[in-house]
Structure 1
Amino acid sequence: MNRFNIVYYTDPLCCWSWAFESTLRQLREYLKDDCEIRYCMGGMLASWNTYQDTLLMVTRPAQMGPVWMQVRQVTGAKLNERIWHFDPPASSYPACIAVKCMGRQSKNAEEEYLYRLRKAVMLEEKNIAKPEVLLQLAEALDKEAPGLFDLPLFKQQLTDETTINAFKADLNERKERNISRFPSLWISTQEDERKSLLITGNRPFEALQTLIHQF
């Protein structure tokens, strides 16, 4: 089998990406050491003043709740849409930036922190647009997985120029590759990166497996 580079375009607020978690784990387990996954934060929601999802007809927070309900019904993923009625996140940018900050320390820390961000907003009704929530989740991770990352360093780097620029680079990459929906996977072989495939949407593992074998 070929060795693969996978760029995962996603966003902490994306409910379809939350539903895709189990499939991504299956894919990682299937490919094992034959793949390298890089996370690219999509910046799905800059602000509700500018947000417009013409496909799902969403322009305000209250309309996001029914989308989560639909994803729950279609995929069976656990989702709690109540946050969109009593404390809707104003933007996904703070959470995206926090993920990039954690990624500066290690990929394992980045993956675990992103999962906890998703779980916090999707199930626990925590507003991950708020800085205090981002810090609380980092502090909880530090207690439960000591040594995984440096908490004081995370706090120090959370809003520095390098972290912000890392997120801006992700936004530029998403624009250059015309990624408009999440989750999306850009898959290429390590032997020849010109040989690539873009997969968009919450596909079942079997579909991904079939597409990978076509390389």
Structure 2
Amino acid sequence: MSDSTLFYVHDPMCSWCWGHRPQWEHLQAALPESVAVKNVVGGLAPDSDKAMPLDQQQAIGGYWKKIEGMLGTQFNHDFWQQNTPRRSTYPACRSVIAARWQNAEDKMIAAIQEAYYLKAKNPSDTETHLLLATELGLDAEKFSADFSSEKLAKVFKQELQFARTLPINGFPSMVLQHQGQVHVIPLDYKDYRGAIKVITEIIS
């Protein structure tokens, strides 16, 4: 049983989370065994059928270019021409929870990010998630039923509420719970080792 938990608060459609992914993978591999990792979906933007205003599309497209320049992260900018973007990340969050119930949470997060940022697929569309579940070899029928279930809606709501109780300012964020205390872990997009050092000091 782990005596410490590292909460990773993210949104599958958060471009900074995509930028941080390589360092996050290194960090998880370097974590002491006594630290459990729990993903927490933060829910950037609720369900919406409205097309994203052009100025908002340009602003988000600008973040992509900034992250690309700063970290070398790849983005497929054709997304903006090939889709009707919507400010709606809740479907992607629900998809992550539905995949979690089939022990495929991390695989689904990666699949959503790659579909969105590399393949120009729209993760605001339910169809995208049903397709990804099939591609990942999940039980597609169970996934589809869970995705739109009351049970999942309830779990998602609780997770959003929990994320809001944590001392975070945005996504991604890392919070370590150790011996009943919570600690904000500094997040570096270029080097995970500082975070490992802080976590090791707290738990030792």
Which TM-score bucket, shorter chain as reference?
Answer: 0.7 to 0.9
Contact 1:4/1:188 (CA < 8 Å) preserved in 2?
yes
Q: 1:178 to 1:33 in 2, by over 3 A?
A: closer
Structure 2 segments unaligned to the other structure (5+ residues): none
Q: 1:79 to 1:39 in 2, by over 3 A?
A: same
How far has the Cα of 1:170 moved from its partner? Answer: 1.6
Range that drifts further, 84-93 or 128-137: 84-93
The answer for the alignment partner of 2:128 in structure 1 is: 133
Q: 1:97 to 1:202 in 2, by over 3 A?
A: farther
Residue 86 (structure 2) pairs with residue 77 (structure 1):
no
The answer for the alignment partner of 1:100 in structure 2 is: 97
Give SS of 2:132's match: helix
Q: 1-side partners of 2:159 and 2:175: how far apart?
A: 13
The answer for the alignment partner of 2:198 in structure 1 is: 211
Over 6 Å off, 4+ runs: none
Give SS of 1:44's match: coil
* Correspondence 1:112-151 to 2 at 5 A: 112-142=107-137, 149-151=138-140
How far has the Cα of 1:214 moved from its partner? Answer: 2.4
The answer for the alignment partner of 2:184 in structure 1 is: 198
Contact 2:31/2:196 (CA < 8 Å) preserved in 1?
no
Q: 1:183 pairs with 163, 168, 172, which one?
A: 172
How far has the Cα of 1:178 moved from its partner? Answer: 4.8
The answer for the alignment partner of 1:172 in structure 2 is: 161
Give SS of 1:214's match: helix
Q: 1:41 to 1:200 in 2, by over 3 A?
A: farther
The answer for the alignment partner of 1:25 in structure 2 is: 25
Structure 1 segments unaligned to the other structure (5+ residues): 52-57, 143-148
The answer for the alignment partner of 1:159 in structure 2 is: 148
Contact 2:76/2:120 (CA < 8 Å) preserved in 1?
yes
Q: 2-side partners of 1:121 and 1:200: how far apart?
A: 27
Q: 2-side partners of 1:40 and 1:98: how far apart?
A: 13
1:142-184, Cα deviation, whole Å (9 max, x unpaired): 1xxxxxx432211111110111111111211122225331110
Taking only aligned residues, the RMSD between alpha carbons, in angstroms, comes to 2.3
The answer for the alignment partner of 2:57 in structure 1 is: 61
Q: 2-side partners of 1:200 and 1:42: how far apart?
A: 18
Percent identity between the aligned chains? 24
- Structure 1 length as normaliser, TM-score? 0.82
Q: 1-side partners of 2:21 and 2:187: how far apart?
A: 12
* Correspondence 1:37-48 to 2 at 5 A: 37-46=37-46, 47=48
